[in-house]
């Protein structure tokens, strides 16, 4: 995910699925395809996204973790606020890549209750003259308003590739523009909460929790939890 940070030193490393066997690694963790890195992709800037790569991921419907085309089923991670706006801001993933991400990211896994406090502090040039780090200020995502903030609740939703539609909301005077997956008219085929909101996190109406509760009442499946 875009706000991920490396696992704390000494934390157990999740097993790496076959799909990610050839992916670059740093400290034993897979470096997501959209993460900002030096030319040496084993040197990531955790918590920062390479904006041109992210745009390519959206445009070509690629997995944000491995960078390969999405297939039959797509997993998206959502916050209640995303669902309320109708757009999921996290690009889709293959199920096995999503499972790895949920285990490797300490925020999603519940090991950390706050987002990366200052991802910009590592935006410095390295000694490789061919590395793009000298123009990073022009190719990273915008400074995150989530930096250092308490984590919200996060949910995992599944949808068929045929329902995976990328849209842009141009925003208004009070709402910033965003690009993401359209979840307004889509029925998420599987839905589960992967972490609860941290103390002090956003406490807006949790429509996703309400959907899960309703599905349980009507017996839509044990995997919807």
Q: What's the mean pLDDT in 87-111?
A: 93
Element (H, E) at 130: none
Tokens linked to 151: 């984590």
pLDDT at 13: 81
pTM exceeds 0.95, yes or no: no
Question: 17 or 144: whose pLDDT is higher?
Answer: 17
In-domain check, residue 195: yes
Q: The domain containing residue 169 runs over which residues?
A: 18-217
In-domain check, residue 7: no
pLDDT at 141: 55
CA atoms within 13 Å, Cβ hemisphere of 147: 13
In-domain check, residue 8: no
Q: What are phi and psi of 52, to 5 degrees?
A: -60, -40
Sign of CA dihedral 38, 109, 114, 201: positive
Q: Domain count of the chain? A: 1
Q: Which residues of 187-208 are buried (b: 16+ CB within 10 A; e: fewer)?
A: ebebbebbbebbeebeeeebeb
Residues 182-202 pLDDT 10s? 998 888 999 999 988 887 766
């Amino acid at each position: 995910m875009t706000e991920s940070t490396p696992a704390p030193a000494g934390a157990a490393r999740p097993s790496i699925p076959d799909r990610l066997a050839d992916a670059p690694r740093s400290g034993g963790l897979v470096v997501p395809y959209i993460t900002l890195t030096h030319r040496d992709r084993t040197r990531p800037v955790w918590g920062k996204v390479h904006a041109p790569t992210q745009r390519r991921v959206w445009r070509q419907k690629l997995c944000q973790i491995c960078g390969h085309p999405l297939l039959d089923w797509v997993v998206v991670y959502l916050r209640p606020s995303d669902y309320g706006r109708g757009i999921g801001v996290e690009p889709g993933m293959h199920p096995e890549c999503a499972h790895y991400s949920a285990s490797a990211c300490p925020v999603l896994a519940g090991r950390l209750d706050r987002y990366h406090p200052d991802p910009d502090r590592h935006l410095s040039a390295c000694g490789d003259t061919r590395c793009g780090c000298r123009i990073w200020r022009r190719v990273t995502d915008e400074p995150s308003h989530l930096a250092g903030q308490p984590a919200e609740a996060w949910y995992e939703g599944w949808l068929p590739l045929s329902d995976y539609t990328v849209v842009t909301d141009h925003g208004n005077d009070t709402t910033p523009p965003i690009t993401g997956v359209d979840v307004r008219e889509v029925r998420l085929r599987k839905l589960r909460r992967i972490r609860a909101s941290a103390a002090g996190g956003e406490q807006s109406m949790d429509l996703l929790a309400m959907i899960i509760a309703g599905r349980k009442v009507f017996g839509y499946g044990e995997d919807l939890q």
